[in-house]
Amino acid sequence: MSSVAFIYDPIFLKHNTGSYHPESSARLESILEAIEPFKEKLLWLKPSPGLLDVISEVHPSFHIDRIEQASLDQEAIDADTQLSSDSYDAALMAVGAGVEAINAISAEKAHHAFCAVRPPGHHATSTQAMGFCLFNNIAITARYAQAMGYEKVMIIDFDVHHGNGTQDIFYEDSSVFYFSSHQYPAYPGSGAGHERGRGDGEGFTHNFPLQTYSQDEDILPIYEDDLLEDIESFQPDIILVSAGYDLHINDPLAQLQITTEGIAKIVEAIMRHSSVPKIFMLEGGYNLHALGDSVAQTLEVMLEHT
Ligand SMILES: [Zn+2]
């Protein structure tokens, strides 16, 4: 039995964003190819579609209905966010992957999990799909984790873009800590250092904006030092990671200069700081070679920490 679950379903390949869209099914194909040499070390699990009552913990029914209708109509929500006839089913399954990860960890089938999903989720607010994201997979996973007894959830987001949706959903909530590093300023515009939460959530959001062209030496102290401090003070019961690989130096959509080795060190720090279960949920990453390599590195580091 492997102690790292790899959660994937071929329906994710059928979310068709059109020709030339960077968020394409080729991304997952490159990940599958890169992990081929050690795939038997992973516990492969297929999710079930996310149930509407689970999704409703984050998104009101009109948002769920809108995604279903946009998928039927094969329409675009905005210039970036195109749906095809299978997009709704893929989006439900992406949510289901997070649910499957929590269930597998709760049942002690796995210590940690990696959800290789698309569409991604961290830009989706409770009421607005945007930035390639339809449902906020990681926010829904956080709420499901809480329903399963993991009361304090930490979300770490190393995607090059700020997870505005995730931040927004938990901005006034002290039970979910949102920790993000990202290029700034950049899409979607949020994520300044002074955004620290509001009301009960004050102090439970921590943003680390990084200048364009920042390198490994600029980002690693955030994960070596600041993250450790926040984990020690918050004491999470589970850690969810918005794993976006568009921070890579070769990514075409942004301008950070983080190497594959640097990404492995970020993952290593996340794994080392705390012994609680970790669930990685794929977000961005648009250079196919860099994405495959970086996810393979992530899984190798996860396997070393079980
Ligand atoms: Zn991104």
Q: Does the pLDDT of residue 271 top 90, yes or no?
A: yes
The pLDDT tens digits of the residues spanning 123-170 come to 999 999 999 999 999 999 999 999 999 999 999 999 999 999 999 999
Mean pLDDT along residues 229-251: 98
123 in catalytic set: yes
Q: Which residues does 130 contact at the CB level (< 8 Å), separation at least 6?
A: 77, 78, 80, 81, 123, 124, 165, 188
Mean pLDDT along residues 258-283: 98
Distance 157 CA to ligand 1 centre (A): 10
The pLDDT tens digits of the residues spanning 15-41 come to 999 999 999 999 999 999 999 999 999
Distance 1 CA to ligand 1 centre (A): 33
Distance 107 CA to ligand 1 centre (A): 32
Distance 24 CA to ligand 1 centre (A): 13
Mean pLDDT along residues 254-269: 98
- Confidence tier at 2 by pLDDT (50, 70, 90): low
pLDDT for residue 121: 98
Distance 190 CA to ligand 1 centre (A): 13
Name the catalytic one among 15, 123, 162, 182. Answer: 123
The pLDDT tens digits of the residues spanning 36-91 come to 999 999 999 999 999 999 999 999 999 999 999 999 999 999 999 999 999 999 99
Amino acid 243 reads: A
Distance 17 CA to ligand 1 centre (A): 16
pLDDT for residue 43: 98
pTM: 0.98
188 vs 60: CA distance, rounded Å:
22
Cβ atoms of residues 167 and 144 within 8 Å:
no
Q: Does the pLDDT of residue 1 top 80, yes or no?
A: no
Q: Give me the chain's average pLDDT, please.
A: 97
Distance 109 CA to ligand 1 centre (A): 30
pLDDT for residue 84: 97
